[in-house]
């Protein structure tokens, strides 16, 4: 089944960030770009091998490359794994609560 996700876009710093770092600079433009991404989880081995056989294709360079901040993959991956773990734990708790409620009937 298909899953659609929405990610909020923060255009301006929060009051706390302004207090800590000072007012926003106008040196970096507000940029709007759109991209599509497909993520497969727990795929079967044959499908994985078929997809890997095609190799990867780099996205074309953006005209806004100089405006992007650099980031470290490792810290980003750690945050993603932590969020996944929290989500799995919360789902487990909710499933248990549903089972308890269903057993009451």
Q: Which domain holds residue 78?
A: 15-104
Does some domain include residue 3? no
Listing DSSP states for 79-105 in one string gives HHHHHHHHHHHHHHHHHHHHHHHHHH-
In whole angstroms, how far apart are CA 55 and each of 36, 50, 58, 65?
Answer: 18, 10, 10, 24
Task: Specify the number of domains making up the chain.
Answer: 1
List, for residues 39-96, the tens digit of each pLDDT value: 888 889 999 899 889 878 887 887 777 766 666 788 888 999 999 999 999 999 999 9
Q: Model-level pTM?
A: 0.34
List, for residues 7-51, the tens digit of each pLDDT value: 766 667 777 878 888 877 666 666 666 777 788 888 899 998 998
What lies within 8 Å, CB to CB, of 68 at 6+ separation is 62
Does some domain include residue 4? no
Give the separation between CA 31 and CA 64, rounded to whole angstroms. 8
């Amino acid at each position: 089944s298909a899953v659609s996700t929405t990610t909020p876009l923060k255009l301006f710093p929060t009051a706390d960030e302004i207090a800590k770092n000072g007012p926003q600079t106008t040196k970096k433009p507000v940029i709007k770009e759109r991209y599509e991404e497909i993520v497969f989880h727990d795929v079967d081995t044959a499908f994985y091998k078929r997809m890997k056989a095609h190799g990867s294709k780099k996205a074309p360079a953006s005209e806004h490359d100089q405006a992007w901040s650099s980031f470290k993959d490792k810290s980003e991956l750690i945050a993603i794994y932590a969020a996944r773990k929290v989500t799995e734990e919360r789902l487990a708790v909710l499933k248990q609560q549903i089972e308890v409620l269903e057993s009451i009937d």
